[in-house]
Structure 1
């Protein structure tokens, strides 16, 4: 009996505790994230306001910055090259993400210390590499842009960071390891590292983009690439390799720098790309338009001096006594039309002279 009574009370509460204002599934509107009167709809491709996909290509120079064999030797720079292509997705106006493929070739030189250097002379090496990575993109200009900055928004500062996999092939030649014409013949130092999950690298960088048109962005980008591999510069496999090129410096990671110029082709039908859209600036512009728009219709421009609720612009009785009820024209009501307004009329529904406070003479108002 007690159980049945408990269920009879609690089950209706459980069923009707939630407000089901027309919601059958989480994809219907209104839902828990909107009120019943909001004009909302699900976010689909057709409801997008901006472009948010692009394809980027570019290329430029590459040099070793930190390695046993360096691109900077004897006052000269041994430039390499690199190129990239990426598919870019803009997540918000301040953040995007890219799938990036890059390849290139580095040229470097080095000299072993002591007698080894005398025998081998200056070694020359090259590294050919391929990399696949995920790259995050922070739009600092959108992140830090002031709402009172009214300058044309065509330049943007970007920061990048990501991780990926790499494969590379290296070859090192010197006067000692490359003696094909002597006995015994020696084999040059060569490494062929296949791309795999054990070849992680990291990269960070900065870039400047210019909004050339609604279709094209131009970008200058500098990236610092941390290979995490001491053999990437062609010095051999490990610190104990013979000859000991990998022991020229104490570091265990051969890092290099790329400087590129590239293009981003913005995909989509809209005029504006999301990376060039600043919500705060848009809000500021809308407020500015409202503040500077002409007044099309001003209500109660002259005020309501007698506080009867009818603006003086169309009030036919500007000195209505305080507390008197008025009609739409601001005139105090006199229901019995005896010339005494209802505020002072002691007999509101029966006509009477003013001398008797609006009551008939046969019915004195003081009785």
Structure 2
């Protein structure tokens, strides 16, 4: 009994493995013949643009750091600029190779005994980064299936990883602490861009489809450096000065707010990031609905316009609007001689004189 049950479960899988068009590639032609014309997907068959180049820039601020851009109710503004090569893989997901550079300006207070300030320092960080960035089109991903409208705004989410190099300089307002031997003030760090200088970033952006060539985007990104010296506070918590010991965290982070442009490359009118497949499907359904479904060309005509050519029509005078069978004869479900079009009791036989209903039935 168990063996028979296993065979019953295995046979459909074995049959699928033999006939599946993707099992070994040998049944592709057979699959194509069953499902209709299949066109190989290549560059010539693309319908949308999928490459773009983006540039932009804006403000940058050191955050969650010992020496940060927010001090005494004030904001120390920095700047950044970026350029990226973007590849849209699907209508909801894309990848970017990005280069970014910028400079942050920050300030810190080193507490002394009993709350007396032991020192105030200013610092800056110049950085350069290369990264791989993933892009999720949240508007397309979360779009309702019954929303058939076009749209020009899209919310995007970003996340990625990269490498960075940076230069920092820390200056103490009390120049009496100036000393480079031993190193105290100023403190300068030069970190080369290497394979062990990883950073992580995530953020969001709002894009506007300005034209078939250009998108405009407002973007906010948060960068996690993983480096406790990124803010210019010094080399370590045991170093001199102790500006790097103000915050207990070991990662100095920054965030940026940018405005950018994306230049869409290619000859097509639409970029893949603005394509809604559901809307395309709905358009195709509407076209098929509005088209005449009878695609057969009748050489000798179709006199009663019932969809069956006169050469094969066994009832050339079928009433207009009546459903017919394959031979062009009006359907009569209860076989009482009254076509369903005129039969007021379609499922119950009755005389013609009573419109196809039994004589004891009130119509």
Q: TM-score, normalised by structure 1?
A: 0.72
2:246 aligns to what? 248
1:303 aligns to what? 322
1:325 aligns to what? none
Q: Deviations over 1:36-65 (max 9, x none)?
A: 663223221111110000000000000122
143-152 vs 225-234, which deviates more?
A: 143-152
Instruction: Give me the CA root mean square deviation.
Output: 3.5
Q: Secondary structure at the match of 2:278?
A: helix
Q: Deviations over 1:102-160 (max 9, x none)?
A: 00000000011115996753200000000000000000111111132233310000000
2:127 aligns to what? 129
Q: What are the ranges of 5 or more consecutive residues in structure 2 without an aligned counterpart?
A: 1-16, 295-304, 308-317, 340-363
- Does structure 2 conserve the Cα–Cα contact (< 8 Å) formed by 1:97 and 1:135? yes
Q: CA shift at 1:285, angstroms?
A: 2.5
Q: CA shift at 1:294, angstroms?
A: 7.5
2:358 aligns to what? none
The 2-side partners of 1:194 and 1:43 are apart by: 44
Q: CA shift at 1:29, angstroms?
A: 8.7
The 1-side partners of 2:53 and 2:137 are apart by: 17
Q: CA shift at 1:30, angstroms?
A: 3.4
- Pairing partner for 1:109 from 103, 107, 110: 107
The 1-side partners of 2:34 and 2:184 are apart by: 82
Distance change (3 Å), C-alpha of 1:116 and 1:197: farther
Q: Secondary structure at the match of 1:39?
A: coil
The 2-side partners of 1:50 and 1:122 are apart by: 56
Q: Secondary structure at the match of 2:148?
A: coil
- Pairing partner for 2:89 from 84, 88, 91: 91
1:274 aligns to what? 272
The 2-side partners of 1:46 and 1:183 are apart by: 67
The 1-side partners of 2:118 and 2:31 are apart by: 72
- Does structure 2 conserve the Cα–Cα contact (< 8 Å) formed by 1:217 and 1:263? yes
- Does structure 2 conserve the Cα–Cα contact (< 8 Å) formed by 1:111 and 1:117? no
**What is the count of residue pairs matched by the alignment?**
297
1:233 aligns to what? 231
Q: What are the ranges of 5 or more consecutive residues in structure 1 without an aligned counterpart?
A: 1-16, 322-367
Q: CA shift at 1:302, angstroms?
A: 2.7
Q: CA shift at 1:282, angstroms?
A: 1.2
- Does structure 1 conserve the Cα–Cα contact (< 8 Å) formed by 2:69 and 2:107? yes
The 2-side partners of 1:309 and 1:36 are apart by: 26
The 2-side partners of 1:258 and 1:207 are apart by: 12
The 2-side partners of 1:70 and 1:247 are apart by: 13
1:69 aligns to what? 67
Q: CA shift at 1:293, angstroms?
A: 5.6
Distance change (3 Å), C-alpha of 1:178 and 1:263: farther
Instruction: Give 1 or 2 for the bigger CA radius of gyration.
Output: 1
Q: TM-score, normalised by structure 2?
A: 0.72
Distance change (3 Å), C-alpha of 1:234 and 1:177: farther
The 2-side partners of 1:287 and 1:73 are apart by: 60
- Does structure 1 conserve the Cα–Cα contact (< 8 Å) formed by 2:171 and 2:185? no
Distance change (3 Å), C-alpha of 1:298 and 1:133: farther
- Pairing partner for 1:144 from 142, 145, 149: 142
Q: Secondary structure at the match of 1:302?
A: coil
The 2-side partners of 1:182 and 1:203 are apart by: 35
Q: CA shift at 1:31, angstroms?
A: 4.9
The 2-side partners of 1:265 and 1:185 are apart by: 48
- Does structure 2 conserve the Cα–Cα contact (< 8 Å) formed by 1:51 and 1:271? yes
Distance change (3 Å), C-alpha of 1:155 and 1:298: farther
Q: CA shift at 1:180, angstroms?
A: 5.6
